[in-house]
Amino acid sequence: MKRNNLLNGLIAVLVFIAIFGVQSCTGPEGPAGAPGKDGKDGTDGTAVCATCHNSSTDLASKQAQWALSKHGQGEAFMSANRKECAACHTTEGFLETAKTNADTVQNVFLSPTTINCRTCHNVHVKFDNTDWKLTSVDPFKFRYDGKKTDVDLKDANLCARCHQARPLSPGIDDTKDSVSITSFRWGPHYGGQSNILVGHSAFSLDGSTLPSFQAHQTINGACFKCHMTGPLGTIVGGHTFNTAFYNEETGAKTVNTAGCRASGCHTTVGGTGKNAWDVDGGTKVTEMYRDILEIRKILAGKGWIDTTQAHGNPGHDYVTNIVNGKPLSATNPLKLSTFEAKILANYLVVVKDKSLGIHNPKYVSAVLKQTLNALQ
Ligand code: HEC
Ligand code: HEC
Ligand code: HEC
Ligand code: HEC
Ligand code: HEC
């Protein structure tokens, strides 16, 4: 009330000045002119909003799918609002670093948000369908090794900028004999998918060149052509970003093969092999998984990795936390020869990609074969 009275007073004073103040220095008012033409009716102010906010389920379905996705539900963002993590774990950090092209953000964010519509789309910019344009599809440089290979996955750069391996720390230096690993998190971090897709991040162990090129990297929008095609409710595909889903009670796996078939490249998925992802009657995915488990067994036997946290999913394996009966630390590192460290790195880049080799079967098959040979 008080504020209103004050405001009213102020307005009265301004009106007074406007009328008398201005009149006092101009001449008398002339005769009134003819009335102007009627203006055109304006557009309905909410019509523009109804492009998206309408009774259709276009927007609602995406929201429902996203809400159940790991982008929407994943809690890593809470622990990862740090200068070196925010670029990939918060919307604010992603949008800032997509502009600055830096690996770290300038300051941490007071109220960070998860990966949401605004990370990937220009929400409320032009208020029309052009707002669905993807926020950042610029090519960028990989962080993984000093070489910082240029990558251009076109529209999939959006996904790849975040889903890329982080540098090994310490790195593997060919001019040195050994590597001292001091953290159980040593490896490419969790999201090295784009490195695998383009055949980058594993080490050749026999001097031959690994076959990096593979058809999957040439699909424009690669990541989302497989992960977002053909949604099945809020379980797989679309804005759930999931290609597979496990029933919590029965453990049964539901896979979304729409992407594999949409490309026109694969006619049958779920071939004669044991893996739901084998295509065209082949057994490549089954074989890659067999090799992964074989290497895993050997590395666990050597005491290099800890498989007990993984609940059966090698993607969640870590470097061992115990060396010579004592906790792994800077003073009690896991000391491996440079060659052994490459073997361990190869295992980690393959399993942390979590696609069972599907992102780049040619490359991953070769990496697994070389790694197995090196261990035998
Ligand atoms: C091109 C599509 C589009 C248009 C046009 C559009 N919106 Fe939105 N709006 C969105 C999206 C996407 C969101 C985010 C939804 C989410 O976060 O789940 C949103 C969210 C909102 C929200 C929730 C609060 C927020 O900001 O997240 C409000 C309120 C809203 N819009 C109002 C409007 C109004 C008013 C207009 C017209 C002036 C409008 N919108 C036009 C797409 C649109
Ligand atoms: C801003 C960075 C960022 C962008 C952009 C991004 N992601 Fe993610 N994505 C993440 C993070 C971080 C997680 C894990 C979230 C968590 O656990 O909190 C994740 C999770 C996922 C998962 C689930 C992984 C699992 O372990 O279940 C899939 C699948 C995925 N993203 C695919 C995509 C695709 C496809 C795109 C492009 C359309 C994309 N992402 C764009 C950062 C990003
Ligand atoms: C280059 C981008 C990038 C950076 C930088 C990054 N992350 Fe991630 N992180 C990801 C992606 C992508 C995923 C999800 C990948 C997946 O599920 O396969 C992820 C997953 C995670 C997870 C979830 C693991 C799980 O499966 O539940 C945690 C925890 C995490 N990150 C913590 C951090 C922390 C802490 C930092 C900073 C020290 C950090 N991240 C820096 C991209 C990044
Ligand atoms: C991780 C990135 C990412 C996030 C988060 C995301 N989207 Fe998308 N969205 C995409 C991509 C990529 C496509 C294009 C998919 C394709 O072409 O197959 C898309 C397509 C769409 C489309 C269809 C656009 C068109 O041109 O017809 C709509 C609508 C949409 N998203 C809405 C949303 C809404 C609403 C949210 C938040 C609830 C959201 N998206 C969150 C990446 C994302
Ligand atoms: C050729 C199809 C295809 C392409 C292209 C593709 N993916 Fe995948 N992706 C898959 C399949 C299939 C899986 C394995 C799902 C499973 O666990 O059964 C997978 C697994 C993943 C996972 C782990 C999901 C989980 O639940 O553990 C992430 C994260 C991911 N992909 C992100 C990406 C990103 C980012 C890109 C682009 C750089 C990409 N994918 C390109 C098909 C594809």
Rg of the chain, C-alpha, whole Å: 29
Both tokens of 293, joined, read: 């488990």
Across 18-27, 108-117, 216-225, 300-309, least confident range: 18-27
Ligand 3 mutation pick, 77, 89, 120, 151, max ligand atoms within 8 A of CB: 89
**Which pLDDT does position 268 carry in this prediction?**
87
Residue 304 alpha carbon to ligand 3 centre in Å = 22
- The mean per-residue pLDDT over the stretch 101-119 comes to 95
Q: Between 221 and 180, name the one with better pLDDT.
A: 180
In the prediction, which pLDDT does 326 show? 97
Please enumerate in sequence order all residues whose Cβ is within 8 A of that of 321, keeping only pairs 6 or more positions apart, or say none. 184, 306, 327, 328
Confidence bin at 264 (pLDDT 50/70/90)? confident
pLDDT at 167 over 60: yes
Mean pLDDT over 288-316 rounds to 95
Residue 49 confidence (pLDDT) above 90: yes
Among 296, 335, 324, smallest CA distance to 312 is for 296
- Ligand 4 within 6 A of 83 CB? no
324 residue type, one letter = N
Q: Is the pLDDT of residue 132 over 50?
A: yes
Question: Which is more confidently placed, 251 or 310?
Answer: 310
Judge whether residue 345 has pLDDT over 70: yes
- Nearest ligand atom owner, CA of 86: 3
Average pLDDT, the chain: 88
Long-range CB contacts for residues 81-87, cutoff 8 Å, separation at least 24: 81/108, 81/109, 81/112, 82/108, 83/107, 83/108, 86/112, 87/162
pLDDT attached to residue 79: 82
Task: Give the number of other Cβ atoms within 10 Å of residue 118's Cβ.
Answer: 15
pLDDT reported for residue 22: 46
Residue with tokens 């695998």: 196
Of ligand 5's listed atoms, the one at least distance from the Cα of 315 is 27
Whole-number Å distance, alpha carbon 357 to ligand 5 midpoint, is 9
Do 303 and 324 touch, CB atoms closer than 8 A? no
Ligand 3 pocket, Cβ-based, cut-off 6 angstroms: 76, 79-80, 82, 84-85, 87-89, 162-164, 166, 189-191, 354
Closest CA to 336 of 345, 325, 349: 345
Residue with the larger pLDDT of the pair 8 and 3: 8
pLDDT at 290 over 70: yes
pLDDT at residue 2 greater than cutoff 80:
no
Under the banding of pLDDT at 50, 70 and 90, the label for residue 283 is very high
Span 243-248, average pLDDT: 87
CA of 134 to the centre of ligand 4 (A): 8
- Enumerate residues 6+ apart whose C-beta is below 8 A from 106: 83, 96, 100
Amino acid, single-letter form, for residue 98? A
d(CA 364, CA 356): 9
Q: Using 50, 70 and 90 to split pLDDT, how confident is the model at 227? A: very high
- pLDDT of the residue at 149: 67
Query: What's the whole-number mean pLDDT along residues 69-83?
Result: 89
